[in-house]
């Protein structure tokens, strides 16, 4: 069978699973996801259930199966089919050959078109980053200044994703410079990624994260701020808000 046939198998299963979902429901989900491709309306549990059933090619080795999923990811005609590829990537724990997996999947951010796809890929990339940070970090640095906002988001969310999922974490010297570069980014989802990453940084390095947020309290975008301070203590939140208020007041005076 060709890769195209495998894609047809994936999409046929998902369409069967979506049978009976009202178009209005699917449209509501598409609006929520802000996805820029056809969406069937399957819930996350339904998508995961479809993946867990396995496909005709699921018995293949990593070396044979990953190229199939790479084709599915880049040629999927529905959001849910694309997510099936991301679910496969996320299932590779531990990853036996990070070099091989990364060599193929580092192009996946090229075709991300919504936050759900981005987050699933970030989760998988964070597992690879934990094992071989030296392999992924140069690409993260390049993405950090890329014109594609999903790559910029990937450059920071892919560091931790969720810190609790990992035994090893990136050092601050690798995290904070990437975050700092994006503080003024104009993209909404990049800013949500900034807040996310600062929150996870605090979970691992609470004092250093607090110091960074205090130093840049006036520069952190409103779309990032609430997530950035989410895990802080009430006293820390009050201090950050007070510093932020004062710094933003000074900025307004200067710009008048």
The proportion of the chain whose per-residue pLDDT surpasses 90, expressed as a percent, equals 93
| pLDDT for res 250 | 74
What's the pLDDT band for 48 if we cut at 50, 70, 90? very high
Model pLDDT, residue 2: 86
CB–CB of 197/169 below 8 Å?
no
| Residues contacting 11, CB < 8 A, separation 6+ | 76, 77, 78, 81
Closest among 164, 116, 157 to 140, alpha carbons compared: 157
Give how far the C-alpha of residue 118 lies from the chain's centroid of Cα atoms, to the nearest Å. Answer: 4
Positive or negative torsion for Cα 43, 45, 51, 54: negative
Residues 6 or more apart whose CB falls under 8 angstroms from that of 240 comprise 210, 213, 214, 217, 229, 232
Q: What is the mean pLDDT of residues 115-138?
A: 96
pLDDT attached to residue 7 = 98
Q: What is the mean pLDDT of the chain?
A: 95
Q: What is d(CA 84, CA 117) in angstroms, rounded to the nearest whole number?
A: 10
Burial of 222 (0-12, 13-18, 19+ CB in 10 A): exposed
Per-residue pLDDT, averaged over 117-128, amounts to: 96
**What are the angstrom distances between the C-alpha of 85 and each of 19, 50, 108, 148, 151?**
21, 12, 10, 21, 18
User: In the predicted model, is pLDDT for residue 256 greater than 90?
Assistant: no
| Contact assessment for residue 96 and residue 135, using Cβ atoms and an 8 Å cutoff | no
Structure tokens at 34: 């802000």
């Amino acid at each position: 069978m060709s890769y195209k046939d495998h894609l047809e198998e994936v999409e046929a299963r998902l369409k069967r699973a979506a049978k009976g979902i009202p178009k209005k429901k699917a449209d509501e989900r598409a609006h929520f996801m802000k996805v820029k491709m056809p969406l069937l309306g399957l819930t996350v549990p339904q998508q995961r259930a479809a993946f867990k059933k396995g496909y005709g090619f699921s018995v293949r080795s990593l070396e044979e199966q990953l190229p199939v999923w790479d084709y599915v990811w880049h040629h999927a005609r529905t959001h849910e089919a694309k997510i099936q590829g991301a679910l496969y990537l996320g299932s590779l724990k531990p990853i036996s050959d990070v070099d091989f997996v990364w060599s193929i999947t580092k192009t996946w951010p090229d075709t991300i078109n919504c936050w759900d796809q981005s987050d699933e890929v970030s989760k998988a990339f964070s597992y690879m980053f934990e094992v071989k940070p030296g392999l992924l970090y140069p690409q993260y640095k390049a993405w950090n200044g890329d014109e594609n906002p999903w790559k910029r988001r990937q450059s920071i969310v892919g560091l931790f994703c969720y810190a609790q999922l990992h035994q090893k974490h990136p050092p601050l010297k690798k995290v904070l410079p990437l975050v700092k570069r994006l503080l003024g980014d104009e993209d909404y989802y990049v800013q949500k990624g900034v807040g996310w990453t600062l929150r996870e940084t605090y979970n691992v390095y609470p004092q250093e994260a607090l110091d960074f947020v205090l130093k840049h309290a006036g520069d952190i975008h409103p779309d990032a701020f609430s997530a950035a301070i989410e895990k802080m203590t009430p006293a820390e939140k009050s201090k950050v808000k007070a510093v932020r208020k004062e710094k933003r007041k000074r900025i307004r005076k200067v710009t008048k």
